Amino acid sequence: MLSPVMEDYLKAVYQLGDDEVRTSELAEHLDVSQPTVTNMLEKLDERGLVEREKYKGVTLTEEGRTVAVEVVRHHRLIEAYLAEALDYDWSEVHDEADRLEHHISEEFEERVAAALDDPERDPHGAPIPGADLEPPEEDGETLDTLEEGDAVVVERVEDDDAEVLRYLDEHGVVPGAKVEVAEVAPFGMITVRTDDEEVALPDEVARSVVVEAAQKPV
């Protein structure tokens, strides 16, 4: 059995990238000290879940990746269930899911998936890995990289800042929404037009919004 903390480390390595992840990055992401990270990575290495390379960083083994993807599947299924069945707001589901993701059984996971008819995306638009635990495609352009006049559709929004989520929701910047870039200010601010309003977003917030190119009308 892996502890919730171990699972969180594997998830963090998975989410921080395909390449080697540095101890310092992990320490910052998990809000712990570097020696703590080094210690835990040693344990995960002994169990064959990560590979460490001196001065480079850490990568997941195949087994480690499978564990990470399963935790992500739990997380996103739980978020979808909380939002759809229990009427949670999309800004509230992440913290609950962060706790519950480590504790549900395979049976529970299957039942939640079945109850929601195998959902493909969580309330923030992130892809829910399938039961085969293949890592889903999660690349994509973010709003802060666009230019004036670009028209895009919001695909997903990073899920971990409740205040940002509430703000984006209030202004219609949600998965599926069409947005057009009205103005890019030279000081790290981008103004986008949604259906019925304009909203200015600092780059830091715009970076959490993943978009896809809008289909040109035929």
Which spans of this chain sit near Zn ion (rule: CB under 5 A)?
Answer: 94, 159
CB 147 within 8 A of CB 185: no
Closest distance of CB 81 from Zn ion, Å: 12
Tell me the closest approach of the beta carbon of residue 98 to Zn ion, in angstroms. Answer: 7
Smaller CB separation from Zn ion, 155 or 159: 159
Which of 18, 110, 103 has its CA nearest to residue 57? 18
CA-atom Rg of the chain in angstroms: 19
At 72, list the tokens.
Answer: 């992500």
The CA dihedral of 172, 126, 83, 192, to the nearest 10 degrees, is: -10
Min CB(75)–Zn ion separation in Å:
5
For the bound state, the minimum distance from the C-beta of residue 70 to Zn ion, rounded and expressed in Å, comes to 15
By beta-carbon proximity to Zn ion, the closer residue of 80 and 179 is 80
Q: Which residue, 41 or 80, has its beta carbon nearer to Zn ion?
A: 80
Give the side-chain half-sphere CA count within 13 A for 151.
Answer: 7
3-state secondary structure at position 18: coil
Nearer to Zn ion, 65 or 73 (CB): 73
